[in-house]
Amino acid sequence: MCSDSNRTNRPEYDQVIQDIADYVLYYKVDSDEAWRTACHCLMDSLGCACLALSFPECTKLLGPTVEGTLVPSGARVPGTQFCLDPVKSAWDIGATIRWLDYNDTWLAAEWGHPSDNLGAILAVCDYLSQKKLTFAEPPLKMRTVLEAMIKAYEIQGVLALANSFNRVGLDHVLLVRVASTAVVAWLKGGSREEVMAAISLAWVDGSALRTYRHAPNTGSRKSWAAGDATSRGVRLADIALRGEMGVPGALTAKQWGFYDVSFSKTSADQKIKAPENREFHFPRDYGSYVIENILFKISFPAEFHGQTACEASIILHPQIAGRIAEIDKVVVTTHESAIRIIAKTGPLANAADRDHCLQYIVAVGLLFGRLSAGFYEDDFHRDHPEIDELRKKMVVVEDKRYSKEYLEPEKRSIANAVQVFFKGGGKTDQVAVEYPLGHRRRRTEGIPLLGEKFRSNLLSRFPPHRVKKIVGIFEEQEKLEGMPVNRFMDLLVI
């Protein structure tokens, strides 16, 4: 029998778990920029979700698990007729927002899309509002949705600042599950103990592997993985608020905790674990930094590390139009993260593979002077063999300054440069774009275009008179914040 009582005494919750719980329970958002940007993030995410509903590969996955199920006081899925239990509704909302890789983005040591958490937030807020109405209680207001967004963005983004889950093979949707679990437990009125229990369960779940994001296994799971994660957050919060115990040492438990099992650095050569655990590092406290610095995909539905490369290639399009056969090579200068994630050679198996290929994005921009979601589909790719021919002529190189400034807190650039060289010695200018249109440094330029993107995406699903009404709500921040969630969601269903 073990005589070491320290091995059997139940510990306090890990400090990381306590800090997340205290932030989500007690932090007061006092940044006007955070509230304003949250409105823009909500607007953009809903537009992305509506546009995704034009793609059968997405819509085939939506709806009740048991066909014909009716859920009183259920949660609606924007752009559809579905009214589902909050767990499946969160799955559907999260999947539609993420499907086209067109929603907002966060880039740091880890990458991700904080708007993925809206699956849980909208589903739970709509459900809670519908439930309150059945008891003649006032529903939640949209300001609560925005507050939950700010907090979920912050949890996911701060965890990502200095902790690279991808380097140990884990997918960033883990952070969606953790953030969604925390804010849902708060939204549902959880105590500190219940919120910590819920968060601990999210960590104990482990993480999906990144296999489906990388060639040769890239596939459409990357389009619904975040929906699955945000949905799991709703389920885990519900379990915890029913009184299920948490796992206090979920991260730090020796041998069995997340740090030892999933976050220890493994040597690629020796295949052994390093002797010391790798624990999370936090360069800043939780606040509203993440949403204030969020990156919008305004111009192109493409993996964010390739956004500026696409912009540069489109700028170059007029210089190479009519001269495709004369091209000798295309040099793409980029940063280390882009090389690691989306620089690909060889065959691309499907649309999910193509929208995460730097060379494909650049080739389309050069050849056509534009890029839309349909350009990744099999039919388009099959009809334009010149795309792959141009990809074969590409050379991708790293600029150390680009890599360094990508991680600098005051810059967070996502720089790319493109230059085309012709047979016989001619060449185009090198076009460099260091900050994409959706960057904080280009907000003044970008926000009006973000509104145009939203309106266009809504028109893919709703008639003009409905679009006008929805857009009008976002034109007055106070009007949006004060609107009951159920009335807001009424406008978004078919």
Residue by residue, pLDDT tens for the chain (494 residues) are 344 445 567 899 999 999 999 999 999 999 999 999 999 999 999 999 999 999 999 999 999 999 999 898 899 999 999 999 999 999 999 999 999 989 999 999 999 999 999 999 999 999 999 999 999 999 999 999 999 999 999 999 999 999 999 989 999 999 999 999 999 999 999 999 999 999 999 999 999 999 999 889 999 999 999 999 999 999 999 999 999 999 999 999 999 999 999 998 653 333 434 434 479 999 999 999 999 999 999 988 888 899 999 999 999 999 999 999 999 999 999 999 999 989 999 999 999 899 999 999 999 999 999 999 899 999 999 999 999 999 999 999 999 999 999 989 889 899 999 999 999 999 999 999 999 988 999 999 999 999 999 999 999 999 999 999 999 999 999 999 999 999 999 999 99
Q: What contacts 249, CB < 8 A, 6 or more positions away?
A: 11, 14, 257
Helix (H) or strand (E) holding 421: strand 416-422
Q: Within 99-220, where are the H helices?
A: 118-134, 142-161, 173-187, 192-204
Neighbours of 388 (CB within 10 A): 15
Report the C-alpha gap between 300 and 368 in whole angstroms.
13
**Which tokens hold the place of 209?**
């592997």
Helix (H) or strand (E) holding 207: none
DSSP for residue 275: S
Helix (H) or strand (E) holding 246: none
**Which tokens hold the place of 354?**
């193509």
Start-to-end Cα distance in the chain: 64
- For the chain, how big is the Rg over CA atoms in Å? 23
pTM of the model: 0.87
Report the C-alpha gap between 227 and 121 in whole angstroms.
12
Alpha carbon dihedral 311, 313, 318, 320, in 10-degree steps, equals 180
